[in-house]
């Protein structure tokens, strides 16, 4: 049975409806043809030039990314800009690109849930429920809040976060022996949810992409912070989601190969 781009769009819309995206976001088919037949699927965090080359070399004509290729509407599409070069390369090679971003973060069994569960927490609630109350998704929203039955030392929690997300390094605020009882988890960049997390009683926040002043504020508020990096907190969960997509395709009768990018990597290096 031939797999169409449109079929993947329908699967993704059921799993992570576009209505769950944040207002500023752009999700869905970025480049491509809904009626095109899919060969192989490449899972990547970002649609980089290297990822596009990887798709070509691997025989993939569909790239599923977390971060949108077209976050801001381009004024032109030429080789004079990075986005333009990417779009031209994609079209030249007949490659379709689909992005599922904050809607996939928010969705039930999406990246927020996956990130929380692989850290070993199975009981949690949503930090900021989806604003779209007309949806029937139920369990959806940004961030997860975990209330522990037994406190855990911050140092041990840091070790768990680093190991789980395979982070080369982490940054943290707080004392190694601080006892943590309530944890907020926001994959990717979670600084915008600091206030909501604290308001709900979080004494530790796990996220990425935090800034100096935000960290200073948390220190003064005696709130612990574990910053494992934007890439690390999303890449492992996205790979796990890729496995879910593969199982769904098999269940629906498709045998298309789903490949996890070997090129996707954190742009930052550590010394």
Q: Is there a domain that residue 84 lies in?
A: yes
Answer for the pair 52, 58: CB distance below 8 angstroms, yes or no. Answer: no
Answer for the pair 57, 128: CB distance below 8 angstroms, yes or no. Answer: no
Q: Is there a domain that residue 266 lies in?
A: no
Mean pLDDT of 142-160: 97
Q: Is there a domain that residue 97 lies in?
A: yes
Statement to judge: residues 115 and 211 lie in one domain: yes
Tens digits of residue pLDDT in 83-99: 999 999 999 999 999 99
Tens digits of residue pLDDT in 126-139: 999 998 755 554 58
Whole-Å CA distances, 209 to 46, 92, 95, 171: 16, 34, 30, 10
CA angle 64, 68, 90 (to 5 degrees): 65
Statement to judge: residues 222 and 248 lie in one domain: no
- Its domain, for residue 49, covers 5-104+234-259
Q: Distance between CA 257 and CA 40 in Å, rounded?
A: 5
Q: From the annotation, which residues make up the binding site for a divalent metal cation?
A: 66-67, 105, 230, 234
Query: Which CATH number belongs to the domain containing residue 252 in this structure?
Result: 3.40.1390.30
Residue 220 CA neighbour count, 13 Å, CB half: 6
- The number of distinct structural domains making up the chain is 2
Question: What residue has token string 């990822």?
Answer: 51
Q: Is there a domain that residue 24 lies in?
A: yes
Q: From the annotation, which residues make up the binding site?
A: 66-67, 105, 230, 234
pLDDT of residue 98: 98
Q: Is there a domain that residue 181 lies in?
A: yes
What is the DSSP track for 82-97? HHHHHHHHHHHTT-EE
pLDDT of residue 73: 82
- Going 194 to 197 to 208 to 177, the CA torsion angle's sign is positive
């Amino acid at each position: 049975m031939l797999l169409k781009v449109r079929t993947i769009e329908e699967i993704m819309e059921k799993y992570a409806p576009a209505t769950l995206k944040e207002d500023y976001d752009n999700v869905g088919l970025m480049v491509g043809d809904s009626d095109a037949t899919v060969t192989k699927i490449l899972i990547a965090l970002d649609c980089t030039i290297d990822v596009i080359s990887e798709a070509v070399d691997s025989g993939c004509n569909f790239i599923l990314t977390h971060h949108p290729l077209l976050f801001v509407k381009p004024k032109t599409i030429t080789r004079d800009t990075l986005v333009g070069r990417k779009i031209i390369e994609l079209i030249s090679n007949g490659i379709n690109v689909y992005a599922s971003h904050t809607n996939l973060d928010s969705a039930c069994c999406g990246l927020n849930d996956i990130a929380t569960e692989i850290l070993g927490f199975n009981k949690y609630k949503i930090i900021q429920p989806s604003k779209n109350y007309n949806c029937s998704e139920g369990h959806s929203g940004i961030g997860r809040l975990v209330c522990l039955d037994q406190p855990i030392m911050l140092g041990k929690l840091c070790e768990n976060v680093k190991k789980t997300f395979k982070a080369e390094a982490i940054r943290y605020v707080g004392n190694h022996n601080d006892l943590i009882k309530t944890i907020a988890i926001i994959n990717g960049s979670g600084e915008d949810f600091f206030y909501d997390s604290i308001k709900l009683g979080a004494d530790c926040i796990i996220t990425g992409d935090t800034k100096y002043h935000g960290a200073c504020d948390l220190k003064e508020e005696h709130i612990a912070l574990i910053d494992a990096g934007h890439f690390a907190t999303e890449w492992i969960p996205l790979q796990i989601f890729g496995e879910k997509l593969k199982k769904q395709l098999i269940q629906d009768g498709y045998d298309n190969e789903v490949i996890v990018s070997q090129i996707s990597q954190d742009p930052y290096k550590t010394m």
